[in-house]
Chain A
Amino acid sequence: MGLLLSSLSLQATSLQSQLRFRSQLQARSDQDQLNQAAQRLVSEINLHHPCLLQLPSQDWARDGLDCIDGNRAAWLIQGGQGSPADVRTLAWQPDANGLQVMLLLALPKAPGSTAPGGTGRRGLFAIGLGGDPVRAWSIQEQGLLGAES
């Protein structure tokens, strides 16, 4: 009886480890996707729309910016097919000194989906700015957050 109980308890531990491993794999796959999206978005801004670097994303679509038009800015924020980041840009928020930006990206959310990218998870990044003219030169992952409720 003792052997049976200890075996079953060990089996439960083993199953739990398997589930934990699977969820870690999913989290890393989401992290990789968000990282790739951050690289694509920052690359696009650095090369083609540098006037956005020190502007919060809610101002990107305003009239009068010399490096981008409103439609293109909306496309950058919304993500989706063909855009540099396949994910939504929830926030691009420069700090008061204009030397660092907090970038928040979100993966698409497919209800009940376990496929990569369907989890709606969000990734927070710190983007370092510098130089003259100003350009982004570092992207540091700050963490993986759950999906928006």
Chain B
Amino acid sequence: MTMVEVALAALILMGSASASAQIWARSMAGIHSAQQRQLALNRIDGELILLQNHWQQLAQHGPLAQSCRAASEQLLDDLQRTPLASGVDRQLTLLTEEEGLLVTLQDHNAPQARRDQLVKPAALHLCEEA
């Protein structure tokens, strides 16, 4: 083997080792961020279950108000006082075209992990007239 062949082989080896190391690092970063996203999704799912259970408990005590608009506003007030897991954002929108409250949950670390939960007081008999 000549000196030139040895140098060429060393270059090829170094190039492929460097490329492999880059792919390895990128893949490890990808796997790490996938784990973070999965955790975010689980966190939001957990918040959603707590929310649904809370509404079911409220519904066991009968209507909050006669009017569904007033009941939606009470649900809004109630949620504004309810604590939230750290890392999760909650956006509350009182709907104007229909009586209801839209709750959007989103994670700081993975904004794609988002849930939109609609609650209509009339569906849970929390009000008696539209």
In the bound complex, residues from chain B placing their C-beta under 8 Å from that of A78 are none
Among A38-46, A60-68, A89-97, the one that faces the other chain is: A38-46
Binds B, one of A7-15, A69-77, A105-113: A7-15
B77 in the interface (beta carbon within 8 A): no
- What's the nearest-Cβ distance from chain A to residue B44, in Å? 8
B16 near A39: Cβ-Cβ < 8 Å? no
A3, A25, A42, A131: the one within 8 Å of B20 (CB): A3
For residue A139, CB closer than 8 A to chain B, the reply is: yes
Known: A4-B16, A24-B41. A138 touches B124 (CB 8 A): yes
Chain A interfacial residues counted at CB < 8 A:
37
A136: chain B residues within 8 A (beta carbon)? 123-125
Residues of A within 8 A of B116 (CB): 32, 36
Determine which of B21, B27, B122, B125 lies in contact with A14 in the assembled complex, contact meaning CB atoms within 8 Å: B27
Q: Which residues of A contact B (CB under 8 A)?
A: 3-4, 6-8, 10-11, 13-15, 17-18, 20-21, 24-25, 28, 32, 35-36, 38-40, 42-44, 46-48, 131, 135-141
What residues make up the interface of B, taking CB atoms closer than 8 Å to A? 16-17, 19-21, 23-24, 26-28, 30-31, 34-35, 37-38, 41, 45, 52, 56, 59-60, 68, 98-100, 112-113, 115-125, 129-130
User: What are 9 A-B pairs at a CB distance below 8 A?
Assistant: A3-B20, A6-B20, A7-B21, A8-B23, A11-B26, A11-B30, A39-B119, A43-B99, A136-B124
